[in-house]
Amino acid sequence: MTGMLASVVSLAEALQVREIGVDIIDLKNPAQGALGALPVAEVGRIVGCLNSGPPVSATIGDVPMDPDVVKPAVEAMASTGVDYVKIGFFPGGDWGGVIRGLSPLAGRGVRLVAVLFGDESPELDWIKELATAGFVGAMLDTRDKSKGSLRQACSDDFLRAFVSETRGRGLLCGLAGSLRVPDIAPLLALKPDYLGFRGALCGGERTDALDSESVRAISNLVRGEASSRTAA
């Protein structure tokens, strides 16, 4: 059944979504970009305070596709004890070198999730490379949040192909990118492992504080729609 990922910016927000009930708590700083990162020390503090509950993920930030930059950033974030480290695959740079450079970390048990950007038309052939290197998941997101949701950036056929290829390679599959209520049912029909939210959980913009009622409403919709599809 498809789960819900909630992106949070602080310990207070992490506790808030844990109490309401989400499947993955994702630590990031939306004010710093599409995958803006919280400081490593702050991530470590949050992980230590949470202590139990759903898995926690964290992004390394909007960094260039340079193995010498990405690998130490991943190592630092992994040292915090998060369950998943998310790496954004931004246009340009050395994607192959980054993947090869991270493979030894995957071999040592660091659970890596690649984030591809649907509005940048990524090649799905990279998913095979990610699986071979030991990544545990791949996520499709949007880089430019001003251009609407993932479903506006990508065709249904592309989204279906992404989910099929990712799950077919044995990877966790996530879909995110300015998702709103009308996006939930169509995306659940594709059967990803989770849907990710930030803006829809806030009072307005993705940089605003979380709104508990919005978190609860989205959670109920994801769980209700997913349960009805499983029962069917």
Phi, psi at residue 163, to the nearest 5°?
Answer: -65, -45
- How far is 168 from 172, CA to CA, in rounded Å? 10
As a whole number of Å, the end-to-end CA separation of the chain is 12
Query: Catalytic: 86?
Result: yes
- How far is 95 from 140, CA to CA, in rounded Å? 16
With tokens 């949701």, the residue in question is: 149
What lies within 8 Å, CB to CB, of 208 at 6+ separation is: 202
What lies within 8 Å, CB to CB, of 139 at 6+ separation is: 86, 113, 114, 115, 116, 173, 174, 175, 176, 196
Query: Catalytic: 145?
Result: no
Is the CB of residue 162 less than 8 Å from the CB of residue 126?
no
Phi, psi at residue 220, to the nearest 5°?
Answer: -65, -40
Tokens for 13? 């927000």
Which candidate in 71, 86, 145, 147 is catalytic?
86
Which candidate in 28, 145, 147, 191 is catalytic?
28
C-alpha gyration radius of the chain = 16
Instruction: Enumerate the active-site residues.
Output: 28, 86
